[in-house]
Amino acid sequence: MTSPKKNSLKKIFTRKNGFVLAFLLPAIILWAIIYAYPLIQIFFTSFSKWNYKNFLNPEFLGWENMFDNYIKLFTVDRNFQVALVNSLKWVVLTMCIQMPFTVIVALVLSKKPRGWKLTRNVFIIPNIISTAAIGLIFLNLYSPSRGIVTEICNMIWPGSDVSVLANPTYAFWGVTFSFILFGGSSCLLLLTQIFSIDPAIYEAARVDGANERQLDLKIRLPLMRPMIGTVSVMAANYGLLLYNEIALISQGGPDNATYSLSYYVYKTGLGSTKLNFARANAAGVIQIILGIVLVGLINKAFRTDEAD
């Protein structure tokens, strides 16, 4: 027979769950409407024929042909193939250039050299300016008629008439340099992690004869690992989702050489006369899968789920 005390505890526990559910219910409903339902719709319509001709009535392709949109992306759609390669390149570049640069800046600033606060504030400025403004700034820098980058290139190579946005290779790197070194927000997170380390750990290491380089390699970097993993996820996803800079600087050109997955989804689904929603959604599903895989790989590499 259950004791009265256990019954009262059971009632309290059930009532507590009811309160928790009541508070969570509005957020769950909003999440389902704003995120879950569109994601489910994107997934299912990627197996359909859906364009401007049947805008209100997507047609399922049938079980035998349901993967046609995905097959065409990888076999006949050159723009998607270029966008996929470019997006993966930008992910790699953010991990190989932006993240090491940001970590080095954070380590230098953590030692509080003269002018470190001013440097920190200047480094964060590009991250508090909208990407639209950054895009317009670089568009003017690369302008063939008045851009300072064009003028510098023509001074170094007279008569070359270098135009950054007219050459596929130059345009790719032009878009890349518009964001690759802007790691101010990541730097602040890393600095917060460094400043939270117990000073007693440094004192003990110095007593044992450790110098600043050894403190960086043996103490700061290992203890920064979870935060480095977190900001790496943010940086990698920024590279994968790149859109504003492309739309404002190169508009995917020249010859669609600077397409990204996000820009491809827009151009295919809304930015062309054919309005191929189904194929755009198929590309979006692939982008979502890539994002999930990236997050998993980075979390595993940095072991962000493990307690120190």
Q: Which CATH number covers residue 290?
A: 1.10.3720.10
Residues 30, 153: one domain?
no
Dihedral angle computed from the Cα positions of residues 122, 123, 125 and 126, in that order, rounded to the nearest 10 degrees: 140
Residues 11, 114: one domain?
no
In this predicted structure, which of 15-19, 36-40, 93-97, 233-237 has the lowest mean pLDDT? 15-19
Q: What is the pLDDT of residue 3?
A: 58
- 45 neighbors 277 (Cβ within 8 angstroms): yes
Is this model's pTM higher than 0.75 or not?
Answer: yes
Q: What is the pLDDT of residue 158?
A: 73
pLDDT tens, position by position, 167-190:
888 899 999 999 998 988 999 999
Residues 110, 234: one domain?
yes
How many independent structural domains does the chain possess?
A: 2
Residues 141, 284: one domain?
yes
Assigned domain for 227 exists: yes
Assigned domain for 163 exists: yes
Q: What is the pLDDT of residue 17?
A: 72
Assigned domain for 207 exists: yes
pLDDT band at 14 (very low <50, low <70, confident <90, very high): low
Structural domain harbouring 96: 68-302
Residues 278, 179: one domain?
yes
5: pLDDT strictly greater than 70: no
Helices (H), 32-128: 37-45, 68-75, 78-93, 99-110, 116-128
Q: What is the pLDDT of residue 275?
A: 85
232: pLDDT strictly greater than 80: yes
Q: What is the pLDDT of residue 108?
A: 93
3-state class of 259 per DSSP?
coil
Residues 256, 141: one domain?
yes
Residues 121, 227: one domain?
yes
Residues 21, 97: one domain?
no
Q: What is the pLDDT of residue 148?
A: 87
Residues 100, 231: one domain?
yes
Assigned domain for 308 exists: no
Assigned domain for 57 exists: no
Residues 147, 113: one domain?
yes
Assigned domain for 61 exists: no
Assigned domain for 59 exists: no
Q: What is the mean pLDDT of the chain?
A: 87
Residues 164, 279: one domain?
yes
38: pLDDT strictly greater than 80: yes
Residues 235, 152: one domain?
yes
Distance, in Å, from the CA atom of 20 to the CA atom of 244, rounded to the nearest integer, reads 39
Of the candidates 190, 192, 169, which has an alpha carbon nearest to the alpha carbon of residue 257? 169
The conformational region for residue 162 under phi > 0 = left, psi -120 to 50 = alpha, else beta, is beta
Assigned domain for 124 exists: yes
301: pLDDT strictly greater than 80: yes
Dihedral angle computed from the Cα positions of residues 22, 24, 29 and 35, in that order, rounded to the nearest 10 degrees: 180
